[in-house]
Structure 1
Amino acid sequence: MIENDGNIRDTIVAIATPPGVGAIGIVRASGPDSWRILEDCVRKSIGIERKVRYGNFYDTEGNVIDEVLFVGFKAPRSYTAEDMVEVYCHGGVLVTQKILEEFVKRGARLAKNGEFTRRAFLNGKIDLIKAEAILQIIEAKSEESLKLAIDNLKGKLSGEVSAIRKMLIDVLSKIEVTIDYGDDIEIPREEIAHDVENAIQFLSEKLAHADKGIHITTGVTLAIVGKPNVGKSTLLNRLLVEDRAIVTDIPGTTRDVIKGEIKIRGIHFVISDTAGIRETEDVVEKIGIERAIREASQADVVLFVLDATTGFTKEDEYILNIIRDSNFIAVWNKTDIGDKVSKLSDNGSDVYISASTGEGLRTLEDKIIERVRPLIEDGQLSHVTTRRQLEHLRIVYQHLKKALEALSGGYPVDIVSIDIRNALSELDKLLGTNFTDDLLDNIFANFCVGK
């Protein structure tokens, strides 16, 4: 599979620092010619690996491009498990580009998105779960998501998946013994069923918290709902500290879902301002209301905004019936100009604010954190952080349930082994032991070029 990847033995090069001006720029190269090319450019030996050296970096005509520091790494003790070099230059756009060009002139080619990490995977340095963790560390927007990603880079989820895989290999071994040596050795079906039940239980606990783990990584979802003109868009703008939504006194101004991202007490949220929910004959507004209801049904927390100048109305009652089973917070807005409020929550958790002045916003944020804290804690139990991981684990679970049903139904153990093998195959896909080029393209396309 590695050989079929096409250019795995090429020497690749990329700028590893963000574009723009900075104190330091980094150019990295990986492949069999990386040391030779760098030594040609600096006109001296790299020397001992992992030891940083100083020198001038020359172009092909002998002109000095920059004064640099450089270091070499020998396979397999490098990020890619190949020979690698890194050049640390002054962080200008032109100087990093010219150093990159000199590597290309001497035989390297430009790296594709994520190709350094892809090579680390293909060379057995990391599995696919760890590769995904690297990207999540780069993209982390909260301390919780960063912690999950670091845990997975250290092998948390990979280790748990490998443990399940070992369980299933042991089960399959027992089945094979029964099939091949049934006259002399027969493993009790109850013992095999017990092992499968243990694997199912292990997976069940992982899957129970998986969605919440993914939400920690992608952002906890927060939907703002309410009837028209209660101040939903003003609240969105106040939370985002920017004017993302148009605010007017005309009911029904917001026709579609407007989204933004915020961080509250270190937790990353994806917040949605939805169309005002009411009965209407306007076709476009109806579509917006349908989307608002769908957004509320999928959100982790719903902010049900009410108007303190009108009090609780029939329109509010209609919305309350829609969201009653959701994790909602009743938010009474416009309390700076009205006092027609009532208690909607049995536990007295209604919040009173003025989105226009900002009064009560801190109390609202405290209440939001209180509601999502259990979700965060559950998510940290899972370490499943992508939909890909979740889908593979669900399929494994389904195969094991079928295997257990076959055992309980008295089917021959060779029939049971089919589902066990299918479950193992799915775990191999999860870890990347069994993969396709399309899968790798999809995962690594989201990386930056220098990673």
Structure 2
Amino acid sequence: ELLQKDLLRSIAWCEVSFEFLDEGEEFGSQIRISLEEMLVKIEHLKETFNAQQQIKNGIKIALIGSVNAGKSSLFNALLKQKRAIVTDIPGTTRDVIEAGMYYKGNYWTLTDTAGLRTTNDSIEQEGIRRSCEEAHKADIILLVHDSSRATSSAEKVIYDDMCKNYEKKIIYIYSKADLPQGENISREGSNALTLSVSDKTSLDFLMTTIDEKIAALFAVLDSPFLLNKRHYGVLLHLEQKITALMPLLKEPIHYEIVSYHLQDALTTLSELTGKSISEAALDLVFKEFCVGK
């Protein structure tokens, strides 16, 4: 509706400029500014669509952390099945393992990744590179620390780098709460969770925390309605029409031609809103315009 109002106002400016051209009343610059603002709004809606499609296809949740931090155990616990191999040998997970699940109407794509550490093993190095890629692609990162031991200086560098790059999408997790706790553990994040995969209460709390993080993702989209593919196609068509119209707003401006193209863009927009433009709506905008003038 905001786009519709912008177009209606531009049409009003155009019609008045055409009617009172001889009196020196022109609003070409206002029309140009209004259309430029429309293109910015359209770009925002396109970004919203891309984010919505990504969420609809599955919220990507990556489990990232040092070797033997308990990522695979947590991965299996969240899925309630054994998908990843779990051993006490550091570096057991060498490749990315993916699995999906539904929770409260949303589809989650969980990704278990290779442990982050410095290594000369070429296969393990490739797994770590892929872990970093998954962190970048993820909507949410479960950054897993082993709370049963102190973090080494090399691990701290890796964790700090993750926090620096992806702080907004990280949920900090300190695993292995059922084991004796390590000394001098620096706990990152004011809302860090301490849990054990054998403790249902702490796992349920993690699930709730992830769900709240997903709700925040939807809130950030800041869109009054969810776009579908047909809406997106109409939006692209509208963007093309407005972009093609911009060169016509260079002096000398032929307002009758500009008005024709604005009306055409308005017809395209009505496909998106599902509302036809009545003469009463046009009259209302003209009255607003005249009162403001």
| Fold shared by both chains (TM-score > 0.5) | yes
The number of aligned residues is: 262
Instruction: Tell me, yes or no, if the aligned pair for 1:214 and 1:384 is still in contact at 8 Å.
Output: no
User: 2: CA distance between counterparts of 1:397 and 1:288?
Assistant: 42
User: 1: CA distance between counterparts of 2:215 and 2:251?
Assistant: 46
- Return the letter of the residue paired with 1:345: E
Q: Name which structure has the greater RCO, CA cutoff 8 Å, separation 6+.
A: 2
2:187 is the counterpart of 1:344: yes
Residue 276 of structure 2 corresponds to none
User: 2: CA distance between counterparts of 1:384 and 1:245?
Assistant: 36
Instruction: Tell me, yes or no, if the aligned pair for 1:307 and 1:332 is still in contact at 8 Å.
Output: yes
Instruction: Tell me, yes or no, if the aligned pair for 1:308 and 1:332 is still in contact at 8 Å.
Output: yes
Change (3 A) 1:300 1:386: farther
Change (3 A) 1:274 1:383: farther
Residue 114 of structure 2 corresponds to 275
2:60 is the counterpart of 1:239: no
User: 1: CA distance between counterparts of 2:199 and 2:234?
Assistant: 48
Aligned to 2:218, the other structure's residue is in SS state helix
1:114-129 alignment, distance < 5 Å: none
Instruction: Tell me, yes or no, if the aligned pair for 2:67 and 2:91 is still in contact at 8 Å.
Output: yes
1:14-413 alignment, distance < 5 Å: 164=3, 187-200=26-39, 202-207=41-46, 209-324=48-163, 325-326=165-166, 327-340=169-182, 342-347=185-190, 349-358=191-200, 360-379=202-221, 381=223, 383-385=225-227, 393=235, 400=242, 407=249, 410=250, 413=253
User: 1: CA distance between counterparts of 2:106 and 2:208?
Assistant: 12
Instruction: Tell me, yes or no, if the aligned pair for 1:220 and 1:270 is still in contact at 8 Å.
Output: yes
Q: Displacement, 1:165?
A: 7.2
User: 2: CA distance between counterparts of 1:331 and 1:236?
Assistant: 13
Q: Could you list the per-position Cα deviations for residues 194-238 of structure 1 after superposition, in whole angstroms to 9, with x for gaps in the alignment?
A: 441452354255346444422442222211001111111111111
User: 2: CA distance between counterparts of 1:336 and 1:405?
Assistant: 68
Instruction: Tell me, yes or no, if the aligned pair for 2:13 and 2:27 is still in contact at 8 Å.
Output: no
Which runs of 5 or more residues in structure 2 are unaligned?
Answer: 273-293
With the length of structure 1 as denominator, give the TM-score of the two structures: 0.47
User: 2: CA distance between counterparts of 1:338 and 1:250?
Assistant: 19
User: 2: CA distance between counterparts of 1:311 and 1:319?
Assistant: 14
Q: Displacement, 1:245?
A: 1.4
Q: Please identify runs of 4+ aligned residues in structure 1 that moved more than 4 A.
A: 163-179, 181-187, 356-359, 384-407, 410-414
Aligned to 1:304, the other structure's residue is in SS state strand
Instruction: Tell me, yes or no, if the aligned pair for 1:226 and 1:276 is still in contact at 8 Å.
Output: yes
Aligned to 1:276, the other structure's residue is in SS state coil
Say which structure is richer in strand: 1
Q: Displacement, 1:306?
A: 0.9
Instruction: Tell me, yes or no, if the aligned pair for 1:217 and 1:385 is still in contact at 8 Å.
Output: no
Q: Could you list the per-position Cα deviations for residues 16-46 of structure 1 after superposition, in whole angstroms to 9, with x for gaps in the alignment?
A: xxxxxxxxxxxxxxxxxxxxxxxxxxxxxxx
With the length of structure 2 as denominator, give the TM-score of the two structures: 0.69
Aligned to 2:60, the other structure's residue is in SS state strand
Change (3 A) 1:293 1:204: same
Aligned to 1:248, the other structure's residue is in SS state coil
Instruction: Tell me, yes or no, if the aligned pair for 2:14 and 2:28 is still in contact at 8 Å.
Output: no
Change (3 A) 1:243 1:314: same
Which runs of 5 or more residues in structure 1 are unaligned?
Answer: 1-159, 432-451
User: 1: CA distance between counterparts of 2:245 and 2:188?
Assistant: 46
Q: Could you list the per-position Cα deviations for residues 155-179 of structure 1 after superposition, in whole angstroms to 9, with x for gaps in the alignment?
A: xxxxx6xx84796598589879989
Aligned to 2:179, the other structure's residue is in SS state coil
Change (3 A) 1:197 1:314: same
- Whose Rg is larger? 1
Aligned to 2:107, the other structure's residue is in SS state strand
Say which structure is richer in helix: 2
- Return the letter of the residue paired with 2:187: L
User: 2: CA distance between counterparts of 1:387 and 1:293?
Assistant: 31
